């Protein structure tokens, strides 16, 4: 009996030692306020930040809230959380825990409902590209990046964790992040931005001067989803269907834009 109890205590002790790092890892990702503890709230967004003036954080939260509400996908009864890191070391720690490349501007962990963004990384990309093309991942606007990552959360909330092709995942997030501003910008029509996508010179300051650059791929994905949503009248569920393909949507968009 004593040997059984002793063995049980030994197994419990070993289990506690094994579980402690895992619990700590999950705890930091679920409650990153331990390293990013300042916060402001604006509408549907609660923004946590580590090192920036409160007024700037509040203005940023308001800009994100405007983008999310204007997309039509925001749930006014539900607050989403975003964590903006200005300290590279803190963001690097979070990316290591998440298994995300450190160079990523941001990412969303939909399972725990948290979005993480690197302020310096967003700013660096904007400086490299001259903040162009607008409405692309190179514009260097943290409101765009935060809204994009929250957009991934909105997709999961509405259609679950079904596997979507990259162009749908990223296109939906880009649509949700930008469509409100695009509709208010008379120079940013769908045909006009299709021309930007086709203009190699417009992407010369970025790695997307080739059409297979990840930034240019994201930009086109946003155009394709916008075409499906605003021209074809598709819903999110429609777009998620396997019958909606990238090549078919690309062909339909080009045919629609040809006479315009």
In a domain, 169, yes or no: yes
Give the number of domains in the chain. 1
- Whether the per-residue pLDDT at 16 is higher than 60: the answer is no
Instruction: Write the CA distances from 224 to 32, 107, 166, 193, integer angstroms.
Output: 35, 22, 12, 11
Compute the distance between CA of residue 164 and CA of residue 223 in angstroms, rounded to an integer.
17
The predicted structure's pLDDT at residue 260: 83
- Whether the per-residue pLDDT at 108 is higher than 90: the answer is yes
Which among 88, 82, 105, 101 has a CA at the least distance from the CA of 51?
88
Centre a 10 Å sphere on the Cβ of residue 8 and count the other Cβ atoms it contains. Answer: 10
- Given pLDDT bands bounded at 50, 70 and 90, which one contains residue 162? confident
Over range 73-85, report the average pLDDT. Answer: 95
Which range of residues forms the domain containing residue 214? 38-257
pLDDT tens for 21-49 read 434 446 667 778 888 989 999 999 999 99
In a domain, 250, yes or no: yes
| Global pTM value | 0.89
In a domain, 32, yes or no: no
Over range 68-77, report the average pLDDT. Answer: 94
The predicted structure's pLDDT at residue 12: 42
Residue 159: CATH number of its domain: 1.10.390
In a domain, 187, yes or no: yes
- Given pLDDT bands bounded at 50, 70 and 90, which one contains residue 20? very low
């Amino acid at each position: 009996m004593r040997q059984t109890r002793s063995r049980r205590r030994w197994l419990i002790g070993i289990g506690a030692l094994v579980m402690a790092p895992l619990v700590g890892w999950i705890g930091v990702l679920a409650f990153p306020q331990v390293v990013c503890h300042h916060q402001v709230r604006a509408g549907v967004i609660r923004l946590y930040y580590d090192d920036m003036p409160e007024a700037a954080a509040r203005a940023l939260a308001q800009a994100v809230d405007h983008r999310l509400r204007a997309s039509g996908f925001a749930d006014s009864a539900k607050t989403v959380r975003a964590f903006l890191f200005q300290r590279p070391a803190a963001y690097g720690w979070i990316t290591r825990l998440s298994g995300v490349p450190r160079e990523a501007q941001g990412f969303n962990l939909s399972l725990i409902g948290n979005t993480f963004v690197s302020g310096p990384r967003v700013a660096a990309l904007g400086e490299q590209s001259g903040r162009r093309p607008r409405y692309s991942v190179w514009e260097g606007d943290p409101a765009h990046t935060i809204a994009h990552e929250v957009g991934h959360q909105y997709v999961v909330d509405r259609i679950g964790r079904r596997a979507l092709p990259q162009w749908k995942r990223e296109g939906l997030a880009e649509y949700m992040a930008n469509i409100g501003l695009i509709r208010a910008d008379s120079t940013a029509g769908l045909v006009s931005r299709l021309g930007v996508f086709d203009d190699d010179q417009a992407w010369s300051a970025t790695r997307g001067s080739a059409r297979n650059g990840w930034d240019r791929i994201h930009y086109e994905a946003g155009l394709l989803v916008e075409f499906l949503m605003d021209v074809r009248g598709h819903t999110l569920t429609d777009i998620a269907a396997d019958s909606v393909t990238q090549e078919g949507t690309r062909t339909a968009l080009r045919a629609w834009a040809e006479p315009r």
